[in-house]
Amino acid sequence: MHYRAIIFDFDGTLADTLEHTRCIYNQLAPDYGLRQVECHELETLRDFSLSELLKHLDISKFRVPSLLKRGTALLRERIAEIPIIPGIAAVLPTLRGRCETFGILTSNATENVNLFLDTHGLRDHFTFVSSTSKLTGKAKHLKAIRKTFSLHASEMLYVGDEIRDVKASQKAGIAVAAVTWGFNSRDALHASDPTHIIDHPEHLLELRRS
């Protein structure tokens, strides 16, 4: 059986925002007394969980909301330049046809996501776009989505590219497909024990719920 509801993360899952995010972080870093991140560091950083990443970059958790707010505002200025993940647009119509609820849950701003979807002609595929202002707030929102659409936890799938997406799904009691083309590495995602690991967008079409 297919999942009745598929919810996607945005950054790194649908949109290839990694390099833009690095550049925006480097733009903001001096204001917070933080060091910049070089391109060659990204492969190492991909193995880190969120808490490990913040510790490695010496970012206080109290600074995260401000960085996130300013970063999403700067990202809005770059939306037209951000590429879609290769191959993802081709599978979305088929996936949408298999489920009743098709949404996005992100820690980015809904305005950014809607602008991106409009740019790529994808907005009509999605039932909703929802945002959480906290990097670790997705579990609560996933539970709320389940109640809103009268779903059983076993009927839902979250698709994301980070360890925190896996942990949020597990906390919410729903299945999670960890995609390896985003921020966290395949090894790091595998260690977090997701329901599925996806190496290419086409492989999303093969998913079935048990």
Q: Say which of 9, 11, 161, 165 is annotated catalytic.
A: 9
Confidence (pTM): 0.95
Spatial separation of the C-alpha atoms in residues 130 and 172, rounded to whole Å:
16
Q: Is 187 a catalytic residue?
A: no
Q: pLDDT 10s per residue in the chain (210 long)?
A: 789 999 999 999 999 999 999 999 999 999 999 999 999 999 999 999 999 999 999 999 899 999 999 999 999 999 989 999 999 999 999 999 999 999 999 999 999 999 999 999 999 999 999 998 777 789 999 999 999 999 999 999 999 999 999 999 999 999 999 999 999 999 999 999 999 999 999 999 999 877
The CATH number given to 5-16+84-206 is 3.40.50.1000
Spatial separation of the C-alpha atoms in residues 69 and 107, rounded to whole Å:
10
Torsion of CA 163, 46, 112, 66, to 10 degrees: 90
